[in-house]
Structure 1
């Protein structure tokens, strides 16, 4: 073994080094930025359809799909056996469809959202009152009885028969004058004022005759 100065090569783990101030700041900023990006995306996505409320988010009645009622009803009228009415109401129409009714007949439906974010459905049909009530209430497929009669009300110059299950939404049915016999039904969570607005607008609306080819 020869003598001499000890080797300067270090053996073992390198001691911990306190990061420089500049390194810490950059790393912290990058970490905070990565955390903020998904939060910002979530706020941007939800913010378009909701607004802050102390009790929770409120649905924006202006969000969601919008349909052109006049165009859709004109299409349905071409193959309809009864005339269709096109009401002009301050509600947003978000759906339309046409389908069969229990016991025979056809139903043409338009769904509306009111400015208070409530919903109303207008149904025009040549079916019987019993048939359209069973179909729209779901009683036809559930085996349960239809909603019970709850009296009548007047709106738009028509008499509307009211049907309602316990704590359920009311179904209001009116028979239009003339032939063929046609009925209107309005149901949904809308207020009494919203119902009357839609009922009066429908009663005085322009009419598309059966088999119409223009709006």
Structure 2
């Protein structure tokens, strides 16, 4: 079979069989490369959108979307903890726009000061996060466990006649701590000062669960 000479767009001359396909030129290769790059870029953007769907940036602190955050039954979790905790556990009454989304219990302190910390966290009305920790342990042990800090006090805050000590916490957040009837109450998170006050007031006035 005789071969046919074909001149490409870039000036190259190649031999091909009659009726054969002409080799792609540089323009064809460039277009195919561009399409491949666009497909890869779109895949990366889709992954980033999926990972950041539940959060938004706020100069005052991270925001959490109530629509995508998990939820827990705070009442059930606190009642379960009250049955086994060696101290009285309180259940703060909060408005419906406070959405409980986390809970945990862990040990704190050692020896005679050993106890547990009972935690519940909420997505606040502003879309931020606050956590209430309750413990029968030593106040300093609880503070160090919950905030990662030791003695960096920033002053005191009065909430309806109750004095709370304010401290620096993780991620440039604040922590408020008080002791009522031998039980340490600690509020920490990225909420606004008004939201700190709401949770602190609800915690200090809540009757102990029995």
Q: TM-score range by the shorter chain?
A: 0.5 to 0.7
Which of 140, 144, 150 is residue 134 of structure 1 equivalent to? 144
Q: Displacement, 1:84?
A: 1.3
Q: Deviations over 1:11-32 (max 9, x none)?
A: 34447569xxxxxxxxx9xx79
CA distance in 1, matches of 2:91, 2:144: 25
Q: Displacement, 1:163?
A: 2.6
Which of 85, 90, 94 is residue 90 of structure 2 equivalent to? 85
1:104 corresponds to which residue?
A: 114
Write out aligned runs for 1:148-167 (5 A): 148-164=152-168
Which of 60, 65, 74 is residue 61 of structure 1 equivalent to? 65
Write out aligned runs for 1:153-192 (5 A): 153-164=157-168, 168-177=172-181, 181-192=182-193
Please tell me whether the aligned partners of residues 147 and 165 of structure 1 are also in contact (alpha carbons under 8 angstroms). no
Q: Deviations over 1:43-71 (max 9, x none)?
A: 873585357x8x9xx85421222111111
Q: Displacement, 1:135?
A: 2.0
Q: Deviations over 1:136-182 (max 9, x none)?
A: 2325xxxxxx13333321114422122337994332111214xxx11
1:72 corresponds to which residue?
A: 77
Structure 2 unmatched runs, 5+: 5-14, 24-31
CA distance in 1, matches of 2:106, 2:52: 36
Larger relative contact order (C-alpha < 8 A, sep ≥ 6)?
1
Structure number with greater Rg is 1
Please tell me whether the aligned partners of residues 66 and 95 of structure 1 are also in contact (alpha carbons under 8 angstroms). yes
Tell me, yes or no, if structure 1 residue 199 matches structure 2 residue 208. no
Please tell me whether the aligned partners of residues 154 and 160 of structure 1 are also in contact (alpha carbons under 8 angstroms). yes
Q: What is the root-mean-square deviation of aligned Cα atoms in Å? A: 3.6
The TM-score, its normalising length taken from structure 2, stands at 0.67
The count of corresponding residues between Structure 1 and Structure 2 is 178
Structure 1 unmatched runs, 5+: 1-8, 19-27, 140-145, 210-215
With over 3 angstroms needed to count, the CA separation of the structure-2 counterparts of 1:122 and 1:50, relative to structure 1, is closer
CA distance in 1, matches of 2:144, 2:124: 25
1:143 corresponds to which residue?
A: none
1:3 corresponds to which residue?
A: none
With over 3 angstroms needed to count, the CA separation of the structure-2 counterparts of 1:122 and 1:41, relative to structure 1, is same
The TM-score, its normalising length taken from structure 1, stands at 0.65
